[in-house]
Amino acid sequence: MPRLSLRTRIGLFFLALGLAVPLVVVGPIWFGRDLLADALAGGDVGPLLLLGGGASFVLIVLIVGVWVLFDTNIAESVERLSGDLETALYANPDHWIDPRPGRHLGRLPEVLRATVKALAEARRDTDRRVAEATGGMEQTRARLAALLNELEEGVVMCTLDHRIQLYNRASLRLMQRGEAEVGLGRSLFGFLNRQPFFHGMERLSNRLHDGRHRDHPDGLALSLVCATTDGRGLLRGRMNLMTDDSEAPIGYLLTLKDATEELAALGRRDHLLDRATNGLRRPVAALNAAAWILDVRDPPPESRRRFTRIVAQRAAELAALVEDNAAAYGALLEGHWPMTDIWSANLLNGVVRRLRDRGTVDAVMVGLPCWLHGDSTLLVELLDHLIGRVHDRYGAEAFDLEAHADGERITLEARADADRVTLEVVWTGDPTPYTELESWLETPLESGPGEITGRDVLMHHKTDLWSQTTADGRACLRLPLPKGLERRSPRPALPARPEFFDFDLPTGDRRRGDEPLRALTYVSFDTETTGLNPSAGDEVVSLAGVRIVNGRVLTGESFSRLVDPGQPIPPRATRIHGITDDMVAGKPKLTDLLPRFHAFTRDAVLIAHNAAFDMKFLTLKQEACGLAFDNPVLDTLLLAVWLHDHETEHSLDAVAARLGVPVSGRHTALGDALVTAAAFLRMIDLLESRGVTTLDQAIAAGNQMVEVRRQQERF
Amino acid sequence: MNGSVLVVDDDPDLLASLEFVLVDAGYTVATATDGPAALAVVENRPPDLILLDAVLPRRDGYDVCQTLRADPDPTVRGLPVLMLSGRARREEREKGLALGANDYLTKPFAVDDLLHRVARLTNGRKA
């Protein structure tokens, strides 16, 4: 039998209801008419009342029944469907609309599903077209990113209120020295001292205002020197004011270079020059006057003794000054010659390859490589030059090349100097006589720059070279060199596709209550713990957060650390997050990490799923660190409840699935923080459709849910 | 007598040499090794000329020179000052002359040149 239409079914239902009324009222009167007539004749209205009461009761039962049916089949279904519809419309186009509750609503659920499907397809289509259209832009962006990140100079673009809009890898290395982490939307002054920038901005604004920039050789740029906030670094930079088409300033571009060493060397040079000129004036004046007296005036013996002593003392003083100046000059020379840290294997390989190409000599690199400090090109030239001479002179054809840090093995030199690395060229034969080696050093290198000699190379490296016999009776040349710094830490990591610029940074306070939700800066964070009870001593084993600026999750600016909880991690906790005691051994304590995390969350609204739980861990420790996490907090759990109160399941997985957020890396702190961040961004649309547009309103919505939940718990 | 000279320098060797040279040339010489001591000497018995080192402890030569030029006593205000300095930069010389020095000599100096300038500045002030 074909299913009757919704209207027919409802019509029949109400027809039955209508027929039931006379049945309930007239039926009993008909069946009890004799009894009723007798009672009425005897003046007794009791049975009549009983009859009326009974009929009324049955009618009330019918009405309640009808209400229940309508509520469950119509009202609740309509509510669920509209909730689903909203989710599909604003958050997740692929949200599945459950047809079961709507089976009494005729074709409505089917029609809705079809509509949502069509909408999702239309959106995908639009997205595809947009993606195609922006493909070219993406490529340009990727090239720009590669270019910026390979630059040796730091490049930073700032808004007029000195917040970072763009930065590259080199700028990270230059600016990021202390606790604070460089990031989009952060103030430049967290890293660099503000005075030069205020001053520079003022000068450039004035230049622009007066129109002088049109003829100015530097246009709208100027050079500046600034210090990092920790006072350890000096940067030399160029500030370039950027304007829009109407010549209104919109921000500025900074290029930065590390000038710490350069400026220190300049300072040393100035100091030396001052000492070499002005420092000599006083002793020479005294010497000169005393000598004049002795020479021209022939003073009496008493005075003669006195002035002779002055001459002798001042002459000695001058000699000492000359020595000092010579030493300072030597140090300065070394500082001037461009030197770098070199991996000895690369250096010696350069020599080996060169000798092999020539084919006369066979050199082998032995020993463990180490870092040394010098000019790679000159050292290769020098070694090549000397080995060639040894070969010509003694016919030696096999050489061992080795670099070793002194003290690592017994050498003839008793001096073990921790600051030096010694390069050794070893061959079987006699050591080179001193005078011969000296003459080799005096001849210009074959292919060195200019007429540079081996002696010059040694002078630049502030060292010397000699030949001696090794412990096993072979001959060697020994060349000590400054040790290199093993600071070759990997370059500051930027993720594969870093969000390193944002030209649309909103203005105003990034966490003010009446700011639109979209304009705020957030840190979505999560903790993994030893258990569920922070007040009873459970501790954090992992803490992670990721920034959201201007509606984008900046995966490149995340914070993720393992934490030593100071207690064994229970196996049931490890089963959840996979973090073991071994993994946290030697990691910092939470109290050591919190200042860094606090700096990371500065100016941001905190977001977490079930935030009360995670916040508790932070607030329990904040006092010990002298910090206060007084940021506004939004809880995605409470917001989910507020948005979808008909849904019973509000776990992060369920919320993410409902909002169409792909889930990966769950139950790692960073993974959960990322999922929470993505879910929150989808919620913003839904919240706005319900009239919640500002931070205050969102917090109020969450608090409302806290109240509701509290009341529910009471029942 | 050729006149009286106050020599102010914190280098005792140079001070001794200058004293010898000037006494030998017939001047009456008083000495001081810092700014306040020099001003005290001027207060007691103004010399005919001050040989003033620019770099001095406590109050430097420029300071002393400016103080002299601001003195209410016209004799003190008009005292000739020959400034001696271990600094040779042009602006330092200009600064010395601007603050009231009559002449400026850079260390080291030729003694004959110094005597010549001293004679010129004390000319007409012979005791």
pLDDT digits (tens, 9 = 90+) for A190-249: 888 888 888 888 889 888 988 888 888 888 998 888 888 877 778 888 999 999 888 899
| Contact assignment for A284 to B108 by CB distance below 8 Å | yes
Chain A environment of B56 (Cβ under 8 Å): none
Residue A407: its pLDDT value, please?
43
| Nearest chain B Cα distance for residue A334, angstroms | 29
B28 forms beta bridges with B4
Residue A59 confidence (pLDDT) above 80: yes
Banded pLDDT at B126 (limits 50, 70, 90): very low
pLDDT (average), residues B13-24: 90
Residue A489: its pLDDT value, please?
45
The values of phi and psi at residue A439, to 5°, are -70, -35
**Under a CB-based contact definition with an 8 Å cutoff, are residues A677 and A553 in contact?**
yes
Which one is predicted more confidently, A23 or A89? A23
Q: Which of A277, A278, A295, A307 to mutate to test the interface with B (most CBs of B within 10 A)?
A: A278
Residue of B nearest to A284 (CA): B108
Comparing C-alpha atoms, which of A65, A62, A37, A63 is closest to residue A51? Answer: A37
Q: What is the DSSP letter of A630?
A: -
Residue B15 confidence (pLDDT) above 70: yes
Chain A environment of B11 (Cβ under 8 Å): 282, 285-286
Burial of A490 (0-12, 13-18, 19+ CB in 10 A): exposed
The distance of Cα A12 from the centroid of its chain, to the nearest Å, equals: 67
Q: Which residues in A639-678 belong to E strands, given as ranges?
A: none
| Nearest chain A Cα distance for residue B88, angstroms | 8
Residue A713 confidence (pLDDT) above 80: no
**Under a CB-based contact definition with an 8 Å cutoff, are residues A636 and A645 in contact?**
no
Banded pLDDT at A448 (limits 50, 70, 90): low
Residue of B nearest to A307 (CA): B17
Residue A238: its pLDDT value, please?
92
Chain B environment of A292 (Cβ under 8 Å): 17, 21, 111
| Contact assignment for A313 to B107 by CB distance below 8 Å | no
A277 touches chain B (CB under 8 A): yes
Strand pairing report for A249-258 and A398-405: unpaired
| Contact assignment for B17 to A282 by CB distance below 8 Å | no
Tell me how far apart the alpha carbons of residues A16 and A10 are, in angstroms, rounded to a whole number: 10
Could you tell me which CATH class the domain B3-122 is placed in? alpha beta
A302 touches chain B (CB under 8 A): no
Catalytic residue among A162, A385, A646, A667: A667
Banded pLDDT at A408 (limits 50, 70, 90): very low
Most confidently modeled range among A157-171, A219-233, A664-678 = A157-171
Comparing C-alpha atoms, which of A459, A475, A458, A456 is closest to residue A467? Answer: A475
The values of phi and psi at residue A465, to 5°, are -140, 145
Residue A5 in 3-state DSSP?
coil
Tell me how far apart the alpha carbons of residues A171 and B127 are, in angstroms, rounded to a whole number: 73
pLDDT (average), residues B58-86: 85
Say which of B24, B86, B110 has its CB closest to residue A281.
B86
Say which of A289, A296, A313 has its CB closest to residue B14.
A289
Say which of A292, A303, A314 has its CB closest to residue B13.
A314
Burial string for B37-76 (b: 16+ CB within 10 Å, else e) reads bbbebbeeebbbbbbbbbbbeebbbbbbbebbeebeeeeb
Banded pLDDT at A339 (limits 50, 70, 90): confident
Residue A64 in 3-state DSSP?
helix
From A119-128, A563-572, A613-622, A661-670, the region with the lowest mean pLDDT:
A661-670
pLDDT (average), residues B86-109: 80
| Contact assignment for B16 to A310 by CB distance below 8 Å | yes
The values of phi and psi at residue A660, to 5°, are 70, 30
From A15-19, A313-317, A427-431, A662-666, the region with the lowest mean pLDDT:
A662-666
| Nearest chain A Cα distance for residue B8, angstroms | 14
Six-digit token pair at A348? 């010696």
| Contact assignment for A286 to B86 by CB distance below 8 Å | no
Tell me how far apart the alpha carbons of residues A168 and A154 are, in angstroms, rounded to a whole number: 6
| Contact assignment for B108 to A293 by CB distance below 8 Å | no
Q: Which residues in A97-173 belong to E strands, given as ranges?
A: 154-158, 164-167
Residue A262 confidence (pLDDT) above 80: no
**Under a CB-based contact definition with an 8 Å cutoff, are residues A203 and A210 in contact?**
no
What lies within 8 Å, CB to CB, of B29 at 6+ separation is B4, B5, B6, B7, B18, B19, B22, B23
Residues from B contacting A (CB-CB < 8 Å) are: 11, 13-14, 16-18, 20-21, 24, 84, 86-88, 106-111
Chain B environment of A307 (Cβ under 8 Å): 16-17, 20
| Contact assignment for A293 to B17 by CB distance below 8 Å | yes
The distance of Cα A174 from the centroid of its chain, to the nearest Å, equals: 14
Tell me how far apart the alpha carbons of residues A413 and A229 are, in angstroms, rounded to a whole number: 45
Percent helix, strand and coil across chain B, each to the nearest 5: 45, 20, 35
Residue of A nearest to B115 (CA): A289
Tell me how far apart the alpha carbons of residues A521 and A632 are, in angstroms, rounded to a whole number: 11
Chain A environment of B13 (Cβ under 8 Å): 286, 290, 310, 313-314
Which one is predicted more confidently, A360 or A256? A256
Comparing C-alpha atoms, which of B91, B89, B88, B80 is closest to residue B109? Answer: B88
| Contact assignment for B17 to A286 by CB distance below 8 Å | yes
From A131-135, A187-191, A704-708, B49-53, the region with the lowest mean pLDDT:
A704-708
The values of phi and psi at residue A491, to 5°, are -60, 150
Residue of A nearest to B89 (CA): A278
The CA–CA distances, whole Å, from A136 to A123, A133, A143, A499, A502 equal: 21, 7, 11, 18, 18
What lies within 8 Å, CB to CB, of A351 at 6+ separation is A363, A380, A383, A384, A387, A401
- Mean pLDDT, chain A, whole residue set: 81
Chain A environment of B106 (Cβ under 8 Å): 281
Residue given tokens 């190409």 in the structure block: A357
Which one is predicted more confidently, A114 or A409? A114
Burial of A546 (0-12, 13-18, 19+ CB in 10 A): buried
Comparing C-alpha atoms, which of B59, A287, B25 is closest to residue B49? Answer: B25
Residue of B nearest to A294 (CA): B17
| Contact assignment for B20 to A307 by CB distance below 8 Å | yes
Most confidently modeled range among A238-242, A508-512, A644-648 = A238-242
| Contact assignment for A307 to B17 by CB distance below 8 Å | yes
| Contact assignment for B106 to A292 by CB distance below 8 Å | no
Respond yes or no: is residue A162 known to be catalytic.
no
Six-digit token pair at A243? 């304007």
Residue A608: its pLDDT value, please?
92
A549 forms beta bridges with A552
| Nearest chain A Cα distance for residue B17, angstroms | 6
| Nearest chain B Cα distance for residue A289, angstroms | 6
Banded pLDDT at A338 (limits 50, 70, 90): low
Q: What is the DSSP letter of A511?
A: T
Domain ranges of chain B: 3-122
Amino acid letter, residue A450 = G
| Contact assignment for A297 to B20 by CB distance below 8 Å | yes
**Under a CB-based contact definition with an 8 Å cutoff, are residues B102 and B82 in contact?**
yes
The values of phi and psi at residue A112, to 5°, are -65, -45
The CA–CA distances, whole Å, from A156 to A439, A490, B25 equal: 53, 21, 70
Residue A95: its pLDDT value, please?
77
| Measured CA angle at A9 (ends A7, A10), to 5 deg | 65
pLDDT (average), residues A624-647: 83
**Under a CB-based contact definition with an 8 Å cutoff, are residues A457 and A509 in contact?**
no
Six-digit token pair at A87? 């989710």
Q: What is the DSSP letter of A228?
A: B
Tell me how far apart the alpha carbons of residues A638 and A83 are, in angstroms, rounded to a whole number: 16
Comparing C-alpha atoms, which of A441, A436, A423 is closest to residue A385? Answer: A441
| Contact assignment for A289 to B18 by CB distance below 8 Å | yes
pLDDT (average), residues A339-354: 80
Q: Is the pTM of this model over 0.90?
A: no
pLDDT (average), residues A310-317: 87
A467 forms beta bridges with A477
Residue given tokens 């100046």 in the structure block: A325
Residue A501: its pLDDT value, please?
66
Banded pLDDT at A101 (limits 50, 70, 90): low
Which one is predicted more confidently, A617 or A509? A617
**Under a CB-based contact definition with an 8 Å cutoff, are residues A629 and A693 in contact?**
no
pLDDT in tens, A457-491: 888 787 788 888 877 788 888 888 877 765 444 44
Chain B environment of A299 (Cβ under 8 Å): 20
Chain B environment of A314 (Cβ under 8 Å): 13
State the DSSP H helix or E strand holding residue A241, giving kind and residue range, or none if neither.
Answer: strand A234-243
**Under a CB-based contact definition with an 8 Å cutoff, are residues A289 and B111 in contact?**
yes
Banded pLDDT at A253 (limits 50, 70, 90): very high
Comparing C-alpha atoms, which of A664, A500, A575 is closest to residue A168? Answer: A500
The CA–CA distances, whole Å, from A52 to A28, A38, A575 equal: 9, 17, 68
Question: Using H for helix, E for strand and C for coil, what is the string for A350-369?
Answer: HHHHHHHHHCCCEEEEECCC
